[in-house]
Chains A and B, each alone.
Chain A
Amino acid sequence: VTEIAWIDPLLRSARPQAVGALLRYFRDLDQAEEAFQEACLRALKNWPVNGPPRDATSWLILVGRNVALDDVRRRSKSEPLPEDAVVSDLGDAEADIAERLDNSHYRDDVLRLLFICCHPDLPATQQIALALRVVSGLSVKEIARAFLVSEAAMEQRITRAKSRVARADVPFEAPGAVERAERLAAVAAVIYLVFNEGYSASGGTVHVRLPLCEEAIRLARLLLALFPGEPEIIGLTALILLQHARAPARLDDDGDIILLEDQDRALWNRDMIAEGLALIEKAVRHRRPGPYQVQAAIAGVHAHALRPEDTDWAEIDGLYATLERLQPSPVVTLNRAVAVSKLRGPQAALAMIEPLAGPLAGYFHFFGVKGGLLMQLGRAAEARIAFDQAIALAHTPAEAAHIRLHLDRLIKASQPA
């Protein structure tokens, strides 16, 4: 087994590009996937004997295409079957000539594949499932487990998504600049969704699902390698890395949430933080700020602080103000209020979130923050009401448990000693 252990990462990393190229040939997602699958089977037979080809991706594309074409011929019975050995003994020299991948071609192949999976016609849950299945190559079983649904349900979700994108009729010509930018934005949004899905599960018992987070990092890096000069993609990658760096400190042994200021910062992944900070520096040089870059910068300020009391809240407040301008949203204002509470006290923050009561009436974190601020102000009865509302809106047991902790403290404080 160890002898072929090196093949697995090779196949995994070749997948987006190979399936993307095969999709360009066949213009059919299922056919492209099947062809790639078949090419992988041949690789598993061939590579341990002959060693890896110089360009594994090109090898897989060529073999996948040939196998699929043979299959078509076989079905039409118009031609005699080629010997299996002819295809599987294919040398790399041949593959090199057949599919010399120029970078721009490759870029659009992968972007098209990603975009089809992240198609705006699909609901978010289908986008994520399809991207994980087709681009990342996770099995239906793995994805089902990550979403805590049955395998059959996930299978159905993916099938539906596929037939929907087939009808969406995504053009196969190389996209223009505007179209490319649109695709890039759609794909970036789904990568962030995948990460968030892993970071704070919407439903279910597990609060941090690491495989989804790691897959999101891989997809972000893939996209960034294709578009190294796009500041928002640099920002997205930085943001995901910086947030994921905190994962080891986010939950206690019982699976309960530990807030940022209570986390053991020694547990934060310093490698990821360093990479995230390096990326922010790169992005800033472009002087084209965007929401991902600003959010990454906020995560970066937290990462810089070795102790919670070292946090530069004024910087965070300023960054949230920028984010409010770039992407006005009550959730952003709510987050800014947390920074304001540190800078100017809970009263100022409470005043800031009061107008949000309407738009955030169904938002768990709104009531969590509100309860926290009221508690700081010593308004225990009102804090209790807010916390009760938060619990009613909690998506995961960990969220509910965290609020309950506050409630317990309130109850203890109200009891005579």
Chain B
Amino acid sequence: MLYALLCCHDEAVDTSWTKEEDDALLAKRRRVTDPLAAQGKLHASIRLMPTTAATTVRIGREPVVLDGPFAETKEALLGVYLVDCASLEEAIALAQQIGRDENVVFEIRPVRHYRPQANFKEAAV
């Protein structure tokens, strides 16, 4: 089963990390995700820009375009891991490993449909 691990975090904290703290955190996570990628189980990892870069569009008779994220919650969606796991237990364990020692929340969502586009390469942006 393919799972999306939605990584949610208090954005004020996320943008308060120093570069060193941020680098250390990413390095720590990659110690978990790199082996997964090597096994072919990590399909994608996405890091989103802060919600200050977000735009919300409400589709209706008159579409409304708003600055900022859809919901004004303290915890914002900051990234997504798309991973192959044999079970929910495995996905939970994985989320715990990736987020170890962090004050972070993972929402684990089984993926219903996933169509990778073969012509896309890894992108920094």
Contact = CB atoms under 8 A, between A and B. Distances in A.
Interface of A: 2, 5-6, 9-10, 12-14, 17, 52, 55-56, 103, 214, 218, 221-222, 224-225, 228-229, 234, 237, 270-271, 274-275, 278-279, 282, 285
A271 B124 contact: yes
B102 A14 contact: no
Most buried by A among B16, B19, B55, B103: B16
Given A13-B10, A271-B124, A282-B55, A52 B103 contact: yes
Nearest to A271: B124
Given A13-B13, A55-B74, A225-B12, A278 B101 contact: no
A268 to B, nearest CB: 12
Contacts of A224: 52
A218 B18 CA distance: 10
Contact of B19 (A103, A214, A270): A214
Interface of B: 10-13, 15-19, 21, 49-53, 55, 65-68, 72, 74, 101-103, 124-125
Contacts of B11: 225
B67 A229 contact: yes
Given A6-B102, A229-B66, A270 B52 contact: no
Contacts of B65: 285
Contact of B12 (A52, A222, A275): A222
Contacts of A9: 13, 16-17, 21
A410 B107 CA distance: 64
A228 B12 contact: no
A283 B53 CA distance: 10
A221 B50 CA distance: 9
Nearest to A285: B65
Nearest to B24: A5
A332 to B, nearest CB: 27
Given A12-B13, A228-B67, A229-B66, 10 more contacts: A6-B102, A9-B13, A10-B103, A13-B12, A13-B16, A218-B16, A225-B51, A270-B125, A275-B53, A282-B53
Contacts, number: 67
Given A229-B67, A234-B67, A279-B53, A274 B13 contact: no
Contacts of A14: 12
Nearest to B69: A228
B49 A274 contact: yes
A6 B103 contact: yes
A5 to B, nearest CB: 7
A376 to B, nearest CB: 36
A6 B101 contact: yes
A218 B15 contact: yes
A246 to B, nearest CB: 16
Contacts of A17: 12
A9 B125 CA distance: 26
A13 B50 CA distance: 14
B68 A229 contact: yes
Contacts of B101: 2, 5-6
Contacts of A275: 49-50, 53
Nearest to B12: A13
A10 B68 contact: no
Contacts of A52: 103
A12 B53 contact: no
Given A5-B101, A6-B101, A9-B17, A228 B68 contact: yes
A82 B50 CA distance: 42
